[in-house]
Amino acid sequence: MGKYKQLAINISIFALNFVATKLITFLLVPLYTYYLSKAEFGLTDMSVTVNMMIAPLATLAIADAVIRFVIENQERSGRYVLTGVVVTFIGVFIVALLLPLLDLPFFGGLGTYRFQYLCTFATSSFFSLFGEIARGFGILKLIPLCAVTSSIITMGLAIVCIAWLNMGANGYFIAVSAGPAIGCLLYLTIGGFGSIIITEIRQMHQNPHKYISVQYADFRSMLRYSLPLVPNSLFWWIGTSINRFFLTGILGVASSGLFAAASKIPGLLSMVYQVFLQAWQISAFQEAHDNPNIFFSRIYSLLRPLMFMAASILMLFSPWIASLLLQKEFYQSWTLIPMLLIAILFNVLNSFVGTIYTTTMKTKGLMITTLIGAASSVILNAALIPICGIIGACYAMAISNILVFLLRIFGTKKILSFDMQWGKFFLATVLLGVQTAIMTIHANAYLPISAVLCTVLVVIEMYGIHQYLALLWHQIATKAEKLFFL
């Protein structure tokens, strides 16, 4: 049970990180929707969307390779760290050269804030890289420290610059750039990453030819792992974020702002999963050389019910949550939330199955399935948004994510087979699908009906995982008893 205990410890650490950082970011949504116009909020969301598109291209997804190779070979970890830093620096420089492209009309006016965007891109790229390095070294307690500090600074500056000084989008960019910058400084000093980088540079100066030749070999190995993840990240971005460009181009940047605001609440589901994923990736990589079939099956049999229950509960309470978080004209977008929850739920399941590809270093299959999902997303967005309006983007996102999920499930059978529990999966999907339809169309008595469906789903799923919950309760009770007698 050692690997499950370690996974639980890792999840606890990343859960603390989530509560202290993502929750703070989430609680800033009312501030943004109150003080920013729909166009300004749409523009800030566009900056995030563009960043998600450019980051893997400019940095060659090197951060993903760094964590994988550091875990695999700690003796050469310093070289991997230096490689990651150099590639990221080059990526920032390339983005700086391409800033004039932000003046194109489908970027919604982001070109006006090109320098602010560059600062945001640079700080977030290095902050993400250093977080992956910390995970690779196993110094997980450092991650919440840096992330909490970054989030507190971001929140404080957002309140000062947006609410007090009324700086609008400029205030937003200042806040989201300064926070990660301070977080990077903590990684470099307290985390000792600066010392590691300096040590590697000194070794390179002592014998440049030998060092560079070895470094080049390491770089090639890292690229063989990360390069398939670059188009995968790009295709994933197309599948999840290209809808912003369609919405901006067809309906205007304000509609993109409404869609972005509605996405914040379903994003909670994704945020919770990210806590699990950060810990899960480490455990999955560490178990890669053993027989992972049972490990994957047990984790999936707990993860899937929890995600379905969370989606159903969020859907039921979405009108009330929206009334707190979505201010003024943004509240009207809450009807998009049920369908977005379906889209995010299957995106979570896609991500879990996708770890089979990354764990076994067969990232080509990951890229192909994401490509198909991206292509379907482009076609569906182009077809549905002119007909259905903003909710057409929700339909497109949900359908493409379901398609990718099915492709990955059947595509990974030859690599690693685990129990999908298809009967329970289909029953939960039907219940959640009916709940989504009832909430979206505002059928008569939609809230009571939604409550009944949610209750039935939760009871069924809880019954299915009661043995895991009983085991967890037994372990907690045993530890509490030991502490009591001590």
Residues 298 and 176 in one domain: no
For residue 1, the model assigns a pLDDT of 45
Q: Among the three residues 195, 228, 261, which one is the final residue of a domain in this structure?
A: 228
In this structure, are 164 and 262 located in the same domain?
A: no
pLDDT in tens, 89-100: 999 999 999 999
User: Residue 457 and residue 454: Cα distance in Å, rounded?
Assistant: 5
> Looking at the structure, do residues 328 and 352 belong to the same domain, yes or no?
yes
Q: What is the pTM of this model?
A: 0.69
171 and 293 fall within a common domain:
no
Q: Which pLDDT value is given to residue 275?
A: 64
In a domain, 242, yes or no: no
The CA–CA distances, whole Å, from 104 to 111, 205, 246, 249 equal: 8, 44, 14, 11
Task: Give Cβ neighbours of residue 332 (< 8 Å, ≥ 6 apart).
Answer: 258
Burial class (CB in 10 A: 0-12, 13-18, 19+), 2: exposed
Measured distance CA(470)–CA(467) in Å, rounded:
5
| Nearest Cα to Cα of residue 134 among 189, 70, 178 | 70
Count up the domains in the chain and report the number. Answer: 2
| pLDDT the model gives residue 11 | 56
Angle between helix 2-17 and helix 267-286 axes, rounded to 10 deg:
140
Domain co-membership, 224 together with 260:
no
Same domain, 307 and 173: no
Count the residues in the chain: 486
Co-location of 392 and 430 in the same domain: yes
Give the range of the structural domain holding residue 275, as residue numbers without chain letter: 1-20+252-485
The answer to whether the beta carbons of residues 255 and 63 sit under 8 Å apart is: no
Q: Which of 228, 260, 275 is the last residue of a domain?
A: 228
Do the beta carbons of residue 113 and residue 143 sit within 8 Å? no
Per-residue model confidence as pLDDT tens digits over 99-114:
998 888 767 678 889 9
Give the Å distances, CA to CA, from 1 to 89, 133, 175, 418.
42, 27, 43, 19
Q: Within this chain, do residues 2 and 99 fall inside the same structural domain, yes or no?
A: no
Q: Where are the alpha helices (DSSP H) in 389-421?
A: 390-411
For 208, the token pair is 């440049």
Residue 92 covered by a domain: yes
- Note the pLDDT of residue 281: 55
Listed as ranges, residues in the chain with pLDDT below 70 are: 1-26, 106, 108, 232, 235-236, 239-240, 253, 275-295, 327, 361, 363, 418, 467-486
Task: Give pLDDT tens digits for 238-263.
Answer: 766 778 778 877 887 677 777 877 88
Average pLDDT of every residue of the chain: 81
Residue 122, domain member (yes or no): yes
Look at residue 480 in the predicted model and tell me its pLDDT: 46
What is the spatial distance between Cα 258 and Cα 267, in angstroms, rounded to a whole number? 14
Residue 391 lies in a domain: yes
In a domain, 115, yes or no: yes
Q: Are residues 301 and 340 in the same domain?
A: yes
Please report the pLDDT score of residue 464 as a whole number: 77
- Cβ partners under 8 Å of residue 244, min gap 6: 45, 46, 49, 256, 259, 260
* 8 Å CB contact between 357 and 415: yes
> pLDDT, tens digit, for every residue of 40-59?
877 887 888 788 888 888 99
User: Shortest CA distance to 108 belongs to which of 181, 41, 62, 54?
Assistant: 41
**Contact at 8 Å (CB) between 272 and 344?**
no
